[in-house]
Structure 1
Amino acid sequence: MLERTFCHLKGIGSTTEAKIWQAGVNNWNDVIEGVAAPLSEAKMAALEKGCGESLQKLNESDANWFADRLPASDQWRMYSHFRGDVAYIDIETTGTDAHCCDITTIALWNGKEIKTYVQGKNLYDFEEEIACYPMIVSFNGKCFDVPFIEKYFGIKVEAAHIDLRFVFRSLGITGGLKGIERYFGMDRGDAEGLDGYFAVLLWNEYEMNGDDRALETLLAYNVLDSVNLENLMIKGYNLHIEKFPQHDLVPIAERPEPLNPFKAHRDVVDAIRNKYLTEGTFRRF
C-alpha cells in the first residue's frame, strides 16, 4: 500500500489522492513514468519529485521519513514494507507519571523472539535493544510508553512508530487494548482479567514479599500485551486495505501466537485480589 500512497507528499490530502487514483495513477512508478494526474503543471512536477524521493527512501528502508510525513491514522500503510524488522513493545510501571514513577518490566516481541526486561535485573539492557529496530508498534505508546521510556532512560527512541490506538480509531474501533482484543475474540488464558492496575499490585507483591510467582505472573501479562500487538497490527492493516478494493492488495496472514515463556498463576492473582478486597482498597482502571 505504501507505494500507492500520495497523501504523505506536501499539498496532497486524501481527496486529492483519491482523484489521482481515479485517473489511473496507481503508484509512484506510474507518476515517474509520466502517467498524467489531474493536477496543475506545477503540482504535477512536485508530485514527480516527491514520488522519486519516496522510492529512494523506500529503497533505503527509511521508515522514519514516511512516519514523519504520514498522519497517525495512515501510518498503517508502512507496515507491510517494514514488518520484517519491527519491535512490538509494552511497558509496565508503578504509575502513570514518568516524573515520579518507575518502569517495572518491559516486554519486546520482534516476530522471532520474546525479550523481557526487569527492574533491578536487566532493565537497562533495553536501551541497546530498542536502538536496533527501525520501527516499533505499540498500543497508546505515543502517549504513554515511548514518552515514559524516553524520560526514564534519558534517551530518544528514534524508530518510526505505529500506534495501534490510532490505527483502530480511524476504523471506528475504540477502547483500550483489552477491549479491542475482546472485540476480535482474542483469548488471554490465565492472564484474562488482569490490567494495568493489577500489574502494579503484582510488582508490589514481588518487591515487598519477594514472591517470584508474582513477578512471573506480571511478566506473563506483559508478554501478552506485547505479542498480541502483532496480530492486532495485521488485523488493522487488513481491515484498512479492504477500503481500497481497486488496488487488489493481498491481506497479510496472521501469525501463530508464540509460546509465552511465563505462566500467570491464578492462585497468586486470587490471593492479591482477596487481600485488597478485604482491605477495601482494590480498584480497577
Structure 2
Amino acid sequence: MLTSTFVHLQGIGPATERRLWQEGFLHWDRFLSETTVPGLSAARKSWYDRELTIAQTQLAAGDLRFFASRLHSRDHWRFYDVCRSRIIYLDIETTGATRDHGHVTVVGLHRGGRTITLVHGENLTTDRLQEEFDQGQLLVTFFGAGFDVPYLRARFPRLRLDLPHFDLCFAARRLGLSGGLKQIEREVGIARDPAIHGLDGWDAVRLWAQWNATGNRQALDLLLAYNRADVENLVPLAEWLQADLRLRFGPPPVGRAIVPRPLAETHS
C-alpha cells in the first residue's frame, strides 16, 4: 500500500490521489515510467519524480520515519504491509491516576509472534523499553495516541518513542465501529479466554493494588493475563481493520475499476 501512496507529496490530497489511481497510477513505478501525467505540469511531474525517487531510497533503507512526517496519522495504516515482522503492538496498565501522579504498572509488547511483559519494580525500565522500541518500525495500539504513548512519555521522559503509529481506535471509528477494545473485538469476532472475560481497565487497577498491598500472586497473574490478551488481540484486530481500510480507502486491485464514493468519504 505504501508504494501506491501519493498523498505524502506536497499538493496531492485524497481526491487527487484517487484520480491518479483511477487513471492507472497504482504504483510509484508506473508514475515514474510515464513522461507526462494528466493534470500535472512538466515542472510538477519532474518534481514529483524526484520526490518519489527519494521515497524509494528511504523505503529500501527501512526509514519509515521519512514517510511518517509526511503522512497524516490517519494514513499510518499504510505502513502495515511493509513492516509486518517489525510491528510492535503495545498496551499498558497503570495505577489509575493521571500520568502526572500515577505510574505505569505493566507494559505488554508483542512483536514477531512473541509477547513480553514488563512489570513495575521488576523489569520495567527506560532502557528495557528502549531496547524493544528500537527493534520496531511501526507501533500499533488501541487509543495509544490518547493514553499509552503520552503516559509512557510522562513517566519515562528519556524514552525515544517516535515510530509511525497505527492507532486502531481511530481506524475503527473511521470504519463506523464504536465502543472500546472489548466491544469492537466482539463485533469482529475476536474471542477472549473465559478466565479474563468481563475484566476491564478498572479491574486492572484493582488487581495491581491488591498485589501491591498484599503480595497476592493470583492477583498479579490475572493482571498479566489480562494485559497479554489486550496486546495479543491487537494483532487480529489490526489485520481486520487494515484490510477494510485498504478496501475502502486504498487503490483497487489491478484490472478493477474504483467505485466512486461520496465526496465526504474521499476526504476522511
Scaled by the length of structure 2, the TM-score of the pair is 0.88
Separation of aligned partners in 1, 2:130 and 2:233:
22
Secondary structure of residue in 1 paired with 2:151:
helix
Match of 1:131 among 121, 134, 139: 134
Q: Retained in 1: the 8 A contact 2:21–2:251?
A: no
2:153 matches 1:153:
no
2:11 matches 1:11:
yes
Deviations along 1:243-267, whole A, 9 cap, x unmatched? 2462259xxxxxxxxxxxxxxxxxx
2:216 matches 1:211:
yes
Q: Which moved more, 1:103-112 or 1:27-36?
A: 27-36
Deviations along 1:69-112, whole A, 9 cap, x unmatched? 22222211110001111110100001251110010001111032
Tell me the equivalent position of 2:173.
169
Q: Which runs of 5+ in 2 are unaligned?
A: 256-268
Secondary structure of residue in 2 paired with 1:231:
helix
2:235 matches 1:230:
yes
Tell me the equivalent position of 2:83.
82
Superposed displacement of residue 131, structure 1: 2.4
Number of equivalences: 249
Q: What amino acid sits opposite 2:124 in the alignment?
A: L
Separation of aligned partners in 1, 2:252 and 2:80:
19
Superposed displacement of residue 158, structure 1: 2.5
Q: Retained in 1: the 8 A contact 2:58–2:66?
A: yes
Superposed displacement of residue 174, structure 1: 2.5
Tell me the equivalent position of 1:265.
none
Secondary structure of residue in 1 paired with 2:233:
helix
* Greater relative CO (CA pairs within 8 A, separation 6+): 2
Separation of aligned partners in 2, 1:89 and 1:196:
15
Tell me the equivalent position of 1:60.
61
Q: What amino acid sits opposite 2:31 in the alignment?
A: V
- What is the RMSD of the two structures over their aligned residues, measured on CA atoms? 1.7
Q: Which moved more, 1:211-220 or 1:41-50?
A: 41-50
Q: Percent of counterpart pairs with the same letter? A: 37
Q: Retained in 2: the 8 A contact 1:92–1:222?
A: yes
Separation of aligned partners in 1, 2:61 and 2:143:
28
Superposed displacement of residue 126, structure 1: 2.3
Secondary structure of residue in 2 paired with 1:247:
coil
Q: Which runs of 5+ in 1 are unaligned?
A: 250-285
Separation of aligned partners in 1, 2:246 and 2:64:
20
2:179 matches 1:140:
no
Change beyond 3 A, Cα 1:96–1:5:
farther
Q: Retained in 1: the 8 A contact 2:208–2:219?
A: yes
Q: Retained in 2: the 8 A contact 1:74–1:167?
A: no
Superposed displacement of residue 187, structure 1: 1.5
Q: Structure 1 runs of 4+ off > 6 angstroms?
A: none
Secondary structure of residue in 2 paired with 1:10:
coil
Q: What amino acid sits opposite 2:205 in the alignment?
A: V
Superposed displacement of residue 121, structure 1: 0.6
Tell me the equivalent position of 2:73.
72
